[in-house]
Structure 1
Amino acid sequence: MSKSEVRGLVNEVKAQVSILAAFVALMWGLEIIDTGLSGLLNQFGILPRSIVGLRGIVFAPFLHGNFPHLIANTAPFLVLGWLVMLRRTNEFFVVSAIVMLIGGLATWLVAPPFTLHIGASGVIFGYLGFLLSRGYFERRIGSILFSIVVGLMYGGLIWGVLPGMPGISWQMHLFGFIGGIVAARLLAEPRAKRRSSRDF
């Protein structure tokens, strides 16, 4: 690997760290403000079948019920978010947008009325769906092995798409996961382009 390639790789890693740090800093900053406002910001979450509740599609992933909720989401967001951008940094933004749109809109459509849905877990499940299904759609050994490794690391999270635990938005988990699968299908590399990209 040449010096210019090493320099480019280092710069890319720095960019990835900066992007993830900015997202996490925004989540933590909003939670600090929300705590000072006694939870007032949480009204910007997803409110099913309420027109004003549509704004939650954009805002809900950055809002959390309390610090334990935020702490529980921070580590998987950082790890899975970085794995999403590992091949190409800009995939992180595309996958995030698709997951937020599909997961948020579906939650708004089917979740029970008069409920509030907030938290980054829907996006996290979207990243998981993307990483697990990318190998299937691309059908190449590197992507398949990468999906298997992710499954071994975080496959246990899949049970979170099932209803059961009170206070947990399984709808955001389920539809975020589906959004990640859709993103993997849309971003699957055509065979003609595979030789020029990283093999995972």
Structure 2
Amino acid sequence: MSYPETREDAAARFGTEAFYASLGRAFVAMCALIPVLFLIEALDIAIGRGRLDMAGGIIPHRLDGLDGVIFSPFLHASWDHLYGNAVPLILVGTFVLAAGTRRFIWSTLLIMLISGLGVWFIGDPDSVVVGASGVIFGYLGLLFARGFVERSWWNLGVAAFIGLLYWYQLYNVLPTDQPISWQGHLLGLIGGVIAAILFRRRPSRGAPALPDPTTPTLTDF
């Protein structure tokens, strides 16, 4: 018995019209997120440099800094910090989101949780950690692991390409004397790998093909 291809299956297959449409929508959505981050940074400057960072950043080992697990990815220490994260966030975020909105949301939350809680537990207690870098490294780890988990050369190729573009940043997952949260980067990367395994796409058999062309086909949105 043959089964029709679901919308999700078509969007995951490189070269299909659904694939390119999904990629385009994801790119627009990620581009729309960046102005929000710039508005937040402008607000931080308007009310006093660093006030939002202190209020919403991760402060390791302190209960009043635990809410930063949720808020810190939306905050940045400076314009340069934000500029450095904006382009890679669009790139990796587009390919992660193109694979499905629900998987994107759950994967992002898991990456934020693992990266943020990890920083809170093992980070420098005299620091305030902000920035989307942990999420970016998480997306990169997710794409790379998804290539193996789902046997997708497309995801593997994308991760390798982005890794080549930003190879110099990969060293930031190792301990350093610079004011960089390598813990957040490393744990974000690990969180992305875990997300790729937990939220992997399972081939859908769809609904049986029916002889009546007027009968709607069930799909998984």
Shorter-chain TM-score range: 0.7 to 0.9
Question: For 2:66, what is the secondary structure of its paired residue?
Answer: helix
Query: What residue number does 1:106 align with?
Result: 118
User: Aligned equivalents of 1:29 and 1:165: distance in 2?
Assistant: 31
**Residues 1:76 and 1:56: Cα distance change in structure 2 (over 3 Å):** same
- Asked if the contact 1:132/1:150 (under 8 Å) is kept, the reply is no
In the alignment, residue 145 of structure 2 is paired with which amino acid? S
Whether the aligned pair in 2 keeps the contact of 1:42 and 1:63 (CA below 8 Å) is yes
Q: CA deviation at 1:68?
A: 0.5
Tell me the equivalent position of 2:61: 49
Give the CA deviation at 1:83: 1.3
Indicate the structure whose relative CO is greater, using CA pairs within 8 Å and at least 6 residues apart.
Answer: 2
The change in CA–CA distance for 1:138 and 1:66 in structure 2 (over 3 A counts) is same
Task: Give yes or no for the alignment of 1:97 onto 2:102.
Answer: no
Q: Which amino acid in 2 is paired with 1:139?
A: R
Match of 1:139 in 2: 151
CA–CA distance in structure 2, aligned partners of residues 159 and 195 of structure 1: 43
Q: How many residues are paired up? A: 190
- Structure 1 stretch displaced more, 90-99 or 137-146: 137-146
Larger radius of gyration: 2
**What's the RMSD between the two structures over aligned residues?**
2.7
1:132-169 Cα distance to aligned partner (Å, 9 max, x none): 11112223544444444444444543221011141111
Query: In the alignment, which residue of structure 2 is the partner of 1:169?
Result: 181
**Structure 1 residue aligned with 2:91:** 79
Equivalent of 2:82 in 49, 59, 70? 70
Cα distance, 1:96 vs structure 2: 1.2
78-87 or 147-156, which moves further after superposition?
147-156
Q: Which has the higher helix share?
A: 1
1:102-139 deviation per Cα after TM superposition (whole angstroms, max 9, x unaligned): 11011111112121100011110111110111112223
Q: Deviations over 1:21-74 (max 9, x none)?
A: 342122111100111222210011001111111110111001011100100000
Q: Is the 8 A contact 1:57 1:105 kept in 2?
A: yes
The 1:142–1:65 alpha-carbon spacing in structure 2 relative to 1, beyond 3 Å, is: closer
**Conserved in 2, the CA contact under 8 Å of 1:121 and 1:173?**
yes
One-letter amino acid of the structure 2 residue matched with residue 35 of structure 1 = I
Q: Does 1:36 align with 2:46?
A: yes
Unpaired runs of 5+ in structure 1? none
For residues 114 and 74 of structure 1, do their structure 2 counterparts lie closer, same or farther at Cα, with a shift above 3 Å needed?
same
Whole-angstrom distance in 2 between the partners of 1:148 and 1:193:
27
The TM-score, its normalising length taken from structure 1, stands at 0.83
Change in 2 beyond 3 A, CA 1:29/1:143: closer
Moved more, 121-130 or 157-166: 157-166
The reply to whether residue 126 of structure 1 matches residue 129 of structure 2 is: no
Structure 2 length normalisation: TM-score? 0.76
Q: Which residues of structure 2 form unaligned runs of 5+?
A: 1-15, 208-221
